Structures are given as structure tokens and as C-alpha cells.
Chains A and B, each alone.
Chain A
Amino acid sequence: MSLQSKRCIALFFIIFLLSPTFFVSTCRAQIVESDWVNSIESYAYDVDANTTAEIVVCVFQSLYGHGIKDSSGQEINDIVKLGVYVFNDMPLDVYDGTQTGIGKSGKDNGVLVLVALDEHQWRIEVGYGLEGDITDIETNLIAQQYLVPAFKQGNYGEGLYDTVVALGEQIPISNQPNSNSVRGYYYYEEDTQPASTPTPFWDWNFYDMPLWLIILLALLGIFGPVLGVKTKGGRSGGGGSSGKW
């Protein structure tokens, strides 16, 4: 079992304990086919390494019931506001811990592609630093050309991949690429596993592993992110566009 999948399981364990709804990174993709997810991750990784810009995809099953709240404690049901929140304020897993804010700090060069499947809504949010390279009109054209037709057919993976590629092509190659500071994860999905009925802890069974191993992994899961760097990334201010399919 690779280290990444161990950490993933451990993290899942912690998440399961601490939070009713949560976002998971690539390792537990359920909505979009894993082949497409891998393609998205790999393309976005290349963009990050070559341009330092971070293109992140976030898939919500619905705008309701995800449990993400604004500063007044209300669940955010508007896709534009949700986009601003996910982009700027939601801690998301990166390769060495968690990061709030998509893109690099100071450069604000992030792009977020957000979709809500039940409501058939999409949103592309562009960080301050890329507003010149990817205008609102361009985000709309890209979504109309690649995302909307594929999503109408139910081809979510293809639509997201083509959208990510089209966005990536708008971003100029950086003079100082730095593959040491890449984000690592680019695809996130709302955890749509139904809340299970409570079972006694000795009956918990994850991937057929003994309890002691689970506990060990859980401790790794706790201390990994704690020891890992909590970083602040880029900012956005509502730039981009949104629509329906």
C-alpha cells in the first residue's frame, strides 16, 4: 500500500470522526470516473509546475446540504458565493498539509472550476492575479464550448478535463517555474457517502485492516496535517462567470 493511500485512509478516518460532511481529494473520487480525475490531476500538475498557477476542480453533488457555512452561520446555497468561499476560505488538502486559498500567495494565480450536479450549475472563479489572462468573457466561452455540451450528455469527467485544459492554455508560462512548490492536489469532490448508522468501534472495518493499524494510521492522520504546513494561498474577488447546463 503506497504512503499516499495510507495517508488518505487515515485522513478519511479522522474526517469520519470529526465532521459530518467534508471534502475529499482524489483518492476517494466517486462522482467522476477515476481515469478522468487522474487526467485532470496530471494536467493541472503540469500547469502548476510550468506556470505556478493552480487550477482546481471542485465537484458538489448539490448546493444544499453540504454544510459549508458563511461567517453568519448560514449554509451557502448560491454558487457564486460558494465559489468565493471555496476559493478563499476553505482549507483544502495539499501535498504537505492544508492550504486556504487557491493559487500562490502574493501572485493570486488560482482558478476554480466549481459544479453543482443536482442544480446543473457551473462556476469558474478566477484569482485576482489571472483576471488579465482569463477574462470573465473567456471563462464563459470556455464553459459554453467545453463544459456545457459534455455535461448535458452526462460526461462530467470529459467536460471538466477539457475545461481545465482550455483554462490552462490561457495561462502564460512562468519565467520562474518551481516544481518544488506545487500544490499536489487539484481535484476535490464533496463526500457523498451517506451518513452511516453508528456501529460500536470494535466493529468498524476499513479496507479489512485490523483496528490497531487503523488507530496507528489515525494518529498519523492527526499528526501528519498538524505537522504539515498550513499555508495561505491566493485570493479572488468574484471574477469569472457562471451559468447552467
Chain B
Amino acid sequence: MKTKIIVIAVTIIAVILIASFAALYFSTYNNVVGLNASVDEKWAQVEQELQRRYDLIPNVVSAARSYITYEGSILENITRLRSQWMTAAQSGNLDAINNATSAMESGVSSLVVTFEAYPNLKSSDVVQSLMITLEGTENRISTERMRYNEAVRDYNTAIHVFPANLWASGWGFTSESYFQAQVGTTEVPPVNL
């Protein structure tokens, strides 16, 4: 009789333990999957905005070409950086995209600075509109980049804290990289029209 009670008690405790372990295991898994999906989703937003800038640059270059006479190399430079960025984007390598994006951001900044020196160009309606669009694009990129980095931070934290840290590598989850802007390129180039 006494042994029977002990057996039942032990069984109940074992079932409770197993059930709580399973609940913890699956809820942790679901949480990590959710955060990982959020990182991917935010990256897609970043890529979309980078693509928007990529599409915009030829318009800026062609509108500026008739005004910029002495500093044509700036336009050639931005066109070259644009194709470099596309190559990097197609490679899918985040480090390469990081570098190419930073380079393109400096290119855009110096382009804006150059525009400041050309009053005729600044007063052109086409160029003004393009510069506003360019500024909007830069703002969108920095916003989506910030959200991506926050998602990465949440995800990386989640897979490095107990108990997910015991299982994350087994599930195939590894740390994601941040999408950093290099110092000096985080600020949107000011467009003073």
C-alpha cells in the first residue's frame, strides 16, 4: 500500500517535471524562431530602402550632369560606388554590403556638398525634387537600419541567455551580425535648398 502511494507520487512528479520541461523547451524554441523571423523581416525592409537609393542615384546623376562641369569625377565616383554596392548586395555577404553601403553613403554626402557649390543646380526644380527624395531615402534607410539592429540585438540576447543558450546551436541558430554604419556616415547629409 505504502509503496503504491510512493509510486503514484513519483509518477505524478515525473509527469509534471516532464511537462514543464517540454513547455519550457517549446516556448523557448518558438520565441527564438519568432525573433529570428523578425530579423529577416527587418532585413528585407533595409534591402528595400537600399534598393530605392540604388534606383534613385542614376536620376540624380543625370540631372546634375548638365550643371556640374568641373567636378564630373564626383558623378563617376557615385556611379562606380553604386555598381559596387549592387555586386555586394548580390553576393549576400553582410560585411561586403556593410562596406559598400558605407562607401556609397560617403559618396552621397560628398555629392550633396558639391551640389551646394552650384547655385544654378540648386535652383533647378528637378534637382531640388531629387534631393528631397534622396534625403527621404537616406532617412528611411537609417530608420530601417536602426530597427534591424534592434531586432538583431533582441535575437542575439535571446539565444545567449539561459535556457536558450543550451539548445540554440542544436536548433541551428547562430548570432546575427549588426548592420553598422561607419562613424561619420550615420548622419543624413543635410540638404539645404
Cβ contact of A238, chosen from B133, B140, B187, B193, cutoff 8 A: B140
With a cutoff of 8 Å between Cβ atoms, the chain B residues found around residue A98 in the complex are none
The A-contacting residues of B in range 143-175, CB under 8 angstroms, are 143-144, 147, 150
Interface centre among A80, A238, A241 (most CB of B within 10 A): A238
Whether, in the assembled complex, A74 has its beta carbon less than 8 Å from a beta carbon of chain B, the answer is: no
Whether, in the assembled complex, A237 has its beta carbon less than 8 Å from a beta carbon of chain B, the answer is: yes
Cβ contact of A136, chosen from B45, B136, B187, cutoff 8 A: B136
With a cutoff of 8 Å between Cβ atoms, the chain A residues found around residue B140 in the complex are 237-239
Q: Given A71-B150, A80-B188, A137-B129, are A241 and B144 also a contact pair (CB < 8 Å)?
A: no
Complex Cα spacing A204 to B193, Å: 51
Cβ contact of B132, chosen from A71, A80, A137, A244, cutoff 8 A: A137
Q: How far in angstroms is the closest Cβ of chain B from A149?
A: 15
Q: How far in angstroms is the closest Cβ of chain B from A153?
A: 21
Interface size class on chain A is: 10 to 19
Contact B136 A239 (CB under 8 A): yes
Q: Given A71-B150, A237-B45, A238-B144, are A80 and B133 also a contact pair (CB < 8 Å)?
A: no
With a cutoff of 8 Å between Cβ atoms, the chain B residues found around residue A71 in the complex are 150
Contact A238 B143 (CB under 8 A): yes
Q: How far in angstroms is the closest Cβ of chain A from B150?
A: 6
Interface size class on chain B is: 10 to 19
Whether, in the assembled complex, A214 has its beta carbon less than 8 Å from a beta carbon of chain B, the answer is: no
Complex Cα spacing A243 to B49, Å: 22
Contact B133 A136 (CB under 8 A): yes
Whether, in the assembled complex, A84 has its beta carbon less than 8 Å from a beta carbon of chain B, the answer is: yes
Interface centre among B129, B139, B140, B147 (most CB of A within 10 A): B139
With a cutoff of 8 Å between Cβ atoms, the chain B residues found around residue A242 in the complex are 135
Whether, in the assembled complex, A62 has its beta carbon less than 8 Å from a beta carbon of chain B, the answer is: no
Contact A238 B150 (CB under 8 A): no
The B-contacting residues of A in range 205-245, CB under 8 angstroms, are 237-244
A71 nearest CB neighbor, chain B only: B150
Complex Cα spacing A193 to B49, Å: 41
Binding site for B on A (CB under 8 A): 71, 78, 80-81, 84, 135-137, 140, 237-244
Q: Given A71-B150, A80-B188, are A241 and B143 also a contact pair (CB < 8 Å)?
A: no
Contact B136 A241 (CB under 8 A): yes
Contact B132 A237 (CB under 8 A): no
A87 nearest CB neighbor, chain B only: B143
Whether, in the assembled complex, B84 has its beta carbon less than 8 Å from a beta carbon of chain A, the answer is: no
Whether, in the assembled complex, B79 has its beta carbon less than 8 Å from a beta carbon of chain A, the answer is: no
Contact B142 A238 (CB under 8 A): yes
With a cutoff of 8 Å between Cβ atoms, the chain A residues found around residue B142 in the complex are 80-81, 238
Closest 10 pairs between A and B when the two form their complex, measured CB to CB: A238-B143, A136-B136, A238-B139, A238-B140, A140-B132, A237-B143, A137-B129, A137-B132, A80-B139, A84-B143
Q: How far in angstroms is the closest Cβ of chain A from B129?
A: 5
